[in-house]
Amino acid sequence: MKNNNENILIKKLAKEFEFDVCRVTDPKLDLLTELRLKEFIDLGFHGEMKWMEETYERRRSPINLWSEAKSAIILGLNYGPGADPLIKNDNKSMGNISVYAQGKDYHGVIKGRLKSFSSKLIARLDKTNPTNVKVFVDTAPLMEKPLAEKSGIGWQGKHTNVVSKEFGSWLFLGVILVNKVFQYDNPETNHCGSCNQCIKICPTNAFDAPYKLNATKCISYLTIEYKNIIPKEFRKDIGNKIFGCDDCLAICPWNKYAKLSNETKFNHEMYNFDLHDLLKLCDETFRVKFKGSPIKRIGRDRFLRNCCISAGNSNNKNLLPYIIKLLMDDKSSIVRGAAVWAFQQLSDKELYKHIKVKHLNIENDASVIQEWA
């Protein structure tokens, strides 16, 4: 009875702090989950995300991360968009930003609520045995998606993200580990069936198989985590995407049950992504424009690199003056390299010859020079 009352309290607090869904589970993960993580790293599918190797022992089990953990409270916050994100793929004059990054950074939004939730929970629980907690929002070596499936919030789809019957593919997750045993909710079963739309729609064929993502081919990885000039074989397929990709999430049939987010901080019209404006951003204007946004995390240079790729795919020759300025003057080699490629896609033969000679006379970075080869 005590455990049941505690669970009622937990669910009540979740509503009070405006989470859309809350479940409780055992923090121990099964061996299959550990083996999938190990395979992902052993195959090099994590690419430049070396922290996944370095934190493997802690990541493979929440108990390794915090040995006192007895329960995991999983909280979900809906960030569902008002329209189908796939529509934006066709607007080549606009940069395409992943839905999760079109508002304020969810890490800050959720972490503050998790801390307030935890403080109130501790104050309301039995004081006989002290309650200790740890809160996580996608920044620590914790596998929150398997925990979400185990808790019953949803299941990991073939695209490796959590799918919910109620919210589709649009849930942010937060986790609170607690040193007390609560009543655990039942796990969710997988409802993907024979559907493989998320696998087929991937522009870069990043899925080696259902449930097996090769992040080094994923547009989200290439535009966010990857620090160098984006490999040529992926540039055309990136299209107009300049920060992340939602194709595999957006195509999921379970999104027909999804709801528009009530969270105003996830306002999907917060930023203007017109390439004419974005290609002019300097360090200062980039920081000001994206203050409080997850986009700010990658820095101006990687962002402008992405914008150049999008411009090269736009078929919009009006962007050439901005592209030429970047390839001639920008301080960043990854921006200049991407600008060379974008210029090649948009330029006519005469302009191409003129700018190539002019640029090679001043360029001294081998990786950028190679772009003209």
Q: Catalytic amino acids?
A: 138
What is the distance between the alpha carbons of residues 323 and 339, in angstroms, rounded to a whole number?
Answer: 6
Encode 170-197: b = buried (16+ Cβ within 10 Å), e = exposed: bbbbbbbbbbbebebbeebeeebeebee
Helices (H) and strands (E) in the chain, counts: 18, 10
**Beta bridge mates, 171:** 78
H or E stretch at 71:
strand 71-78
Residue 251 has which token pair? 């195509």
Residue 214: how many CA atoms within 13 Å on its side-chain side? 12
CA distances from 282 to 103, 309, 330, 343 (A): 21, 17, 9, 20
Residue 3 has which token pair? 């455990």
Nearest to 147 by CA among 72, 84, 64, 258: 72
H or E stretch at 223:
none
CB 204 within 8 A of CB 210: no
